[in-house]
Amino acid sequence: MTILETKGLKKIYGSGGNAVRAVDGIDLAVEEGEFLTIVGSSGSGKTTLLHMIGGLDRPTQGKVFIGQKDIYAMNGDHLAVFRRRRVGFVFQAYNLIPVLNVWENICLPLELDAKAVDHDFISDLMESLHVYDKRGVLPNQLSGGQQQRVAIARALSTRPSIVLADEPTGNLDSKSGLEVVNLLKQSVKKYHQTLVMITHNETLAQMADRVVRIEDGKIIGQGGAVCEPISE
Partner 1 sequence: MRTYIRIACRYIRKYPQRSLAMALSVVLSVFLIVAIGSLNESSKNSQVMHSKNQGAQHVIYHGINAEQLEKARAYRNAERVAALVYFDQWNTPDGLAVSLLAADSNNLYMENTRIKEGSLPTQPDEIALEGWVLDQLGLPHKVGETLQIDLVEKGEKRGYTLTGIIEDRMEEKATGQLDAFIALNEGILSEKDGQISALVEFKQGVGINEEIDKLAAAMGLQGDGSENIEPNEILLSAMGQTGELDRELVLLSLMLMLVAGMVIFSVYSISALKRIRDYGMMRAIGATSRQIIYIILAEIAVIYVGGAALGLAGAAVFVQLFKGAATDVFIFHALEGFGNLPLDIIVISLPAVKLALLIALAAVLAAGMRVARMAALLSPLEAVNRSTQDEKIRFADRQGRLDGLLDVTKRVTVKNLRRNKKAVVFTLIAMSIGCTLFMVRSFTLEMFGREQNLFYADKNPRENDELRLNVNNTAPMTLGYTGEQIAEYNELPAVNEVFAAQLLYSRLKIAESQLNGDFGNLYVKKMDERLTEFDKKPGEASSKPEDRMGFSFPGDSGDELVIRNTVMGLSKPQWDSLSRDLSLKENTSAENASRPQAVLYVPKVNKEGTFWGEGYTRMEPVLKIKAGDVVRVTYPRQGYEKSLDNWDLIHQYNKYREQYADLEFTVAAITETLPEQDEFWLGTDDAPYIIIPDQVFQEVTGIDTYRIMSIDLQDAYSEADYKTLKEKVKQTAALIPGTTVQDRAALLRDQEKAEREYILFYAAVALVLITIGGLSIYNNINYNIISRLREHGILKALGLTNGQFKGMLRFEGVLYGAISALFSCILALLIELGIFVYNAYFSYYTLSNKHFFLEWKSFLLVILVNIGIGYLASVGPAAQVNKLEITEAIRSVE
Nearest residue (CB) to partner 1, 85 versus 218: 85
Give the shortest CB-141-to-partner 1 separation in angstroms.
Answer: 9
State how far Cα 185 lies from the chain centre: 12
Nearest residue (CB) to partner 1, 73 versus 230: 73
CB neighbour class for 15 (10 Å; exposed up to 12, middle 13-18, buried from 19): exposed
Nearest residue (CB) to partner 1, 27 versus 113: 113
Compute the distance between CA of residue 72 and CA of residue 158 in angstroms, rounded to an integer: 21
Nearest residue (CB) to partner 1, 135 versus 210: 135
Give the shortest CB-82-to-partner 1 separation in angstroms.
Answer: 8
Nearest residue (CB) to partner 1, 73 versus 93: 93
Contact residues: partner 1, CB under 8 A: 51, 54, 56-57, 76-77, 80-81, 83-85, 89, 91, 93, 95-101, 104, 107-109, 111-114, 136, 138, 140, 154
In angstroms, the Cα distances linking 131 to 20, 126, 209 are 41, 5, 27
Compute the distance between CA of residue 144 and CA of residue 177 in angstroms, rounded to an integer: 10
Give the shortest CB-90-to-partner 1 separation in angstroms.
Answer: 11
Give the shortest CB-152-to-partner 1 separation in angstroms.
Answer: 13
Give the shortest CB-227-to-partner 1 separation in angstroms.
Answer: 26
In angstroms, the Cα distances linking 118 to 8, 106, 123, 127, 200 are 39, 12, 9, 14, 35
As a whole number of Å, the CA-based R_g of the chain is 17
